[in-house]
Amino acid sequence: MFKKILAAAATTAAVFAMSTSYAADMTGAGATFPYPIYAKWAESYKAATGNGLNYQSVGSGAGIKQIKAKTVDFGASDMPLKAEDLESDGLMQFPAIMGGVVTVVNVEGVTPGQLKLTGPVIADIYLGKITKWNAQPIAALNPGVKLPDLDITVVHRADSSGTSFLFTDYLSKTSADWKGTVGAGTSVKWAVGVGGKGNEGVAANVQRIKGSIGYVEWAYAKKNKLSHTQMKNKDGVFLQPDDDAFKAAAAGAEWTKTPGFGVVLTDQAGKQSWPITGVSYILMHRTQADGNKGAEVLKFFDWAFKNGAPAAAELDYVPMPASVVKLVQANWKAQLKDASGKAIY
């Protein structure tokens, strides 16, 4: 079933391209992190309503730029914008889906989920301090695992990326050296490595380069049959990635206390919490020049909240809790207006 869903997602670009003749079609751009689920939702929504979605998987940074420039109906970012930035640009944001970022490796003899890594060790690999797979800090975490005397090739994002924000935010929380030299952001100055565009590009590079390590959203790791690693969480537990671990990380999120719903779920407490869990956000202009188009975007996400959970679960994403959906819908009513000031939801 999973392979069928991902195959459908991979071909949805063609569906999107054919849908542009419909007046009610929506346009969105941004994060690659949620692309597989947005693609599946779009396919199902088109079948149910006849209305299409043209979503460009171009990275969070590009999505933010496009929504600010008003060249799309909505943007998508895995790094939430701060309240002051939303206000200055006349934007609102809301959470659409949650998922996890995983480290993936291409090391001969290492099976999926076998290798254990920690935040400080990953940081030192990405800082160029650990350069061999059999280096002592990695070997100490993995007794009994035969690690080769093989150079490590670091793979990172080449574009402005919300997945990079989640990854570097986690490293900043677990490594003082990383925080002081590189820090967190959608674009950072990488110490070493080769870049790939989008989660797709990172996955392809890791698949191609022996001895490589990268970071991708979990669905991309599964789609490309990459060897993921276990990761040590804040409570000191090594975990395998799955939707239960992502849900556990989101359990303590304080949505009502965070302006613009801008919750960051990296390095959350809890024995079952996956350490790099993230939320993908939708950005829209609070004043909609075309109220009908804005209303159609809301109808799409309202449909996804009500009907999209099974597909999300099959792709190992985590749907937004019902209590959060109610908060989001109340926010739609309060903030989104047409050019005359009338609420569009």
Q: Do 176 and 312 belong to one domain?
A: no
Inside any domain, residue 269: no
Q: Report helix, strand or coil for 208.
A: helix
Residue at 267 is within a domain = no
pLDDT grade for 3, boundaries at 50, 70 and 90 = very low
pLDDT tens, residue by residue, 245-278: 999 999 989 999 999 999 999 999 999 999 999 9
- Average pLDDT along the chain: 92
Mean pLDDT of 292-311: 96
Asked if 131 and 88 sit in the same domain, the reply is no
Predicted confidence band at 291 (pLDDT cuts at 50, 70, 90)? confident
Distance CA 100, CA 17 (A): 29
Give pTM, 2 decimals: 0.90
pLDDT of residue 252: 87
Identify which has the larger pLDDT, 72 or 5: 72
Question: Is 270 a member of any domain?
Answer: no
Give Rg (Cα) of the chain. Answer: 20
What tokens were used for 213?
């390590």
We report the CATH number of the domain holding residue 62 as 3.40.190.10
Task: Kindly report, residue by residue over 129-151, the tens digit of the pLDDT.
Answer: 999 999 999 999 999 999 999 99
Region 35-45: mean pLDDT is: 97
**Cβ atoms 155, 213 nearer than 8 A:** yes
Residue where a domain terminates, one of 230, 260, 290: 260
Lowest-confidence region among 23-27, 211-215, 310-314: 23-27
Write down the pLDDT at residue 171.
98
Residue 296: strand, helix, or coil: helix
Q: Looking at the domain assignment, is residue 345 inside a domain?
A: no
Domain enclosing residue 214, as ranges: 101-260
Q: Are residues 221 and 333 in the same domain?
A: no
pLDDT per position as a tens digit, 191-232: 999 999 999 999 999 999 999 999 999 999 998 999 999 999
Q: How far are the Cα atoms of 30, 259, 291 from residue 85, in angstroms, in the given order? A: 17, 11, 23
What is the length of the chain?
A: 345
Domain co-membership, 156 together with 110 = yes
Residue bearing the bigger pLDDT, 231 or 17: 231
Element (H, E) at 308: none
Helix (H, G, I), strand (E, B) or coil at 241: coil
Q: Report residue 31's pLDDT band, with 50, 70 and 90 as the boundaries.
A: very high
Name the domain count of the chain: 2
User: Is the pLDDT reported for residue 42 higher than 80?
Assistant: yes
